[in-house]
Structure 1
Amino acid sequence: MVKNIKKEQQHIALQVTNLSVGYSSKKQQNVISKDINFALQKGELTAIVGVNGIGKSTLLRTLGNVQPKLSGTISIDAIEINDYKPGQLAAKISVVLTEKIASKNLTVLEVIALGRQPYTNWIGTLTTTDKDKITEAISLVQIEELQHKKCYELSDGQLQKVMIARALAQDTSIILLDEPTSHLDLYHKATILKLLKNIAHKTQKTILFTTHEIEVALQLCDKILILDKNESHFGTPQNLIATNKFDALFPKDTIIFDAKSASFKVV
């Protein structure tokens, strides 16, 4: 039993313990969500779900070290995140936020190449290794036919695939994505999430994303974090359903969760 636990711990990519996220000023702290605890294994696709304003994006930005945590610990490969130098962290974790591309006049290939910035020299020259990683990322996301197009020529779904490819080109063990399926129809939402699941399982990367698409996440994700202000829940979709963790997500006088169909129903 002890051997199994040790083996499992060796594969933990991201560990979060007693984490509080939010914003702080000189006068006070504004805690959005607290007591967050979970551990992500290599090769897993995990979703962060919760009601609007609960702090899903804030948590993701905190995990990516885009903004500071209020308290608790975040460890990557058993090393506290603050112990990494910026260059070291950029080689461990990539973040895809909801901000638009600065210049849509760039080609798809140029945007994906930006993912290699942590590894290039001061003039940004791409080595053979850099080019191989870019080619591999394009192949994984299956956008070979788009690579020479300008980004302004792409649909929202195509552009999202480009951003995923850029994160893959960065070649980090952990990828964080904020609302990767926003502004997409149901077909393209499912397509993007199936793509992420395939990448996680095929490359053994740990992929964590925020989403409002809870029912799709229930079908495709290995793990789910239900974020709440005072108490969050983490586990497989099956375990979370079996322990009724989705029942309190929304007010019961409007929406209820049906465990049999793993879906929400309006009452």
Structure 2
Amino acid sequence: MKKRVHLLIGLMVIVFMSMACNLPGFSSGQPTLDIIAVQQKQLTIIAEMTQSSPDQPTQTPQPTPRPGTLYTATPQGDIPITGVTSQPMPNPTDTVEPTLSTAIPMVTVSVDTNCRYGPHIVYDYLGAVMVDEKTEIIGRHPNGGWLLVNNPDREGQTCWITMQYAEVTGNLIDVPIAPLPVFYDWNGVWTFVEFQVVVDGNLSLVQNGRNVSGVVNLSGGNKATYSGTLSENGQIFSGSVTIDLTPELSFPIYFKMLENQNQFIASSDSPENFSTLHACGYRNSVGYPAGCPLPAAP
């Protein structure tokens, strides 16, 4: 650095002496030196000395960043990597919401299909899905085979259809498992008592869809025949009874199976009124229900 300063001072002394020799008052006989040209030459020399000085590090021009370009530090400087667009770093607190399917599962049928209170033919008929109808799927049976749908025949009501003829659109996996209605199965032999007629008789009932029929043997070789239909959920049997001796006569009878599904009570008044019991029965050795009209002990 000191060497460069000495060279600069020496150069300036030479230039000034040259200028002094050519100022007015000196009669050298030579043309007057162009001061502007001398100054330009001086600047050129200084610039050349500055560029060639070993003490001055070489500066590498830096590229001007352009939007959408990443730069990677290298020993030769920042070399742009083209084709890569910088993206903002995500906020650690940001939560990515999953994309949910908005398609509502629907069903059509290839054959007109009954729509029932429950997923079985023993349940009451509530309506039907016709070939040209489409309805929304609300639920599905845990074991497959049946779908809970909006009843096309009754607004605001649901019912079950078999999948035998169903054609589903949408994702059935997203449909929840529907709670199953209680299945009241009347099939079997019931120990039966009817006020003043039968005591501990065997009432054999057969259930076919909504229809139920049965026979109980009476004393003297006679028998009483019961027949009727079930309510929507199958809990109440509404029908009539006839006796062989008087086939021209029939009497109304209403059975209601209790929630334990092993006892029933009966009335001759109406399917809504069981305050006065006319008969009752049980199976699986659970005994008669409370309030049963049993005959008085002798």
Report the TM-score range of the alignment, normalised by the length of the smaller protein.
Answer: under 0.3
Structure with bigger strand share is 2
**TM-score relative to the length of structure 2:** 0.18
**TM-score relative to the length of structure 1:** 0.19
**Structure with greater contact order relative to length (CA < 8 Å, sep ≥ 6):** 1
